[in-house]
């Protein structure tokens, strides 16, 4: 009986940490949108939050550089194709050129969010001795 009471107390103690285990600063990706504390973040807010951590800021910068390169190549490809072939091939060519850059950029953006979350994420409760 004493063991049951002790285990109940230990369980209640450990369960009390679950309410305090998160700092509430986690950034979540839901339906291609980023949220923090159930508030949707626009690009400017997300950028400001991610820049608060140096490692996260570096991954964010890499993401922005890659996507910018993709858009520049997309525009150049479209301009050349419009001048030589026509509008429809220009749109298709631009999409084909920009898509790999956008995919890689999104991977770096997700990495930036993961780095931020690892610095501001879940706080593990102390482990109980066995």
* DSSP line for 30-60: ETTEEEETTEE--HHHHHHHHTTSHHHHHHH
* 34 DSSP assignment: E
User: What confidence tens digit (pLDDT) does each residue in 42-89 have?
Assistant: 989 999 999 988 999 999 999 999 999 998 988 888 888 888 877 777
Question: Rounded to 5 degrees, what are φ and ψ at 36?
Answer: -140, 125
* pLDDT tens column, 89-104: 777 777 788 889 999 9
- pLDDT score of 128: 46
Q: What mean pLDDT do residues 106-115 have?
A: 93
pTM: 0.66
């Amino acid at each position: 009986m004493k063991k049951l009471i002790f285990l109940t107390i230990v369980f209640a103690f450990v369960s009390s940490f679950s309410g305090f285990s998160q700092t509430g600063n986690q950034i979540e990706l839901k339906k291609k949108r980023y949220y923090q504390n159930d508030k949707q973040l626009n690009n400017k807010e997300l950028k400001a939050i991610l820049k608060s951590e140096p490692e996260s800021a570096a991954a964010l910068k890499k993401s922005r550089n890659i996507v910018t390169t993709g858009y520049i190549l997309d525009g150049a490809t479209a301009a050349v194709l419009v001048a030589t072939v026509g509008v429809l091939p220009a749109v298709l060519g631009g999409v084909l050129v920009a898509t790999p850059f956008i995919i890689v950029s999104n991977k770096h953006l997700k990495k930036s969010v993961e780095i931020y979350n690892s610095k501001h994420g879940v706080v593990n409760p102390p482990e109980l001795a066995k």
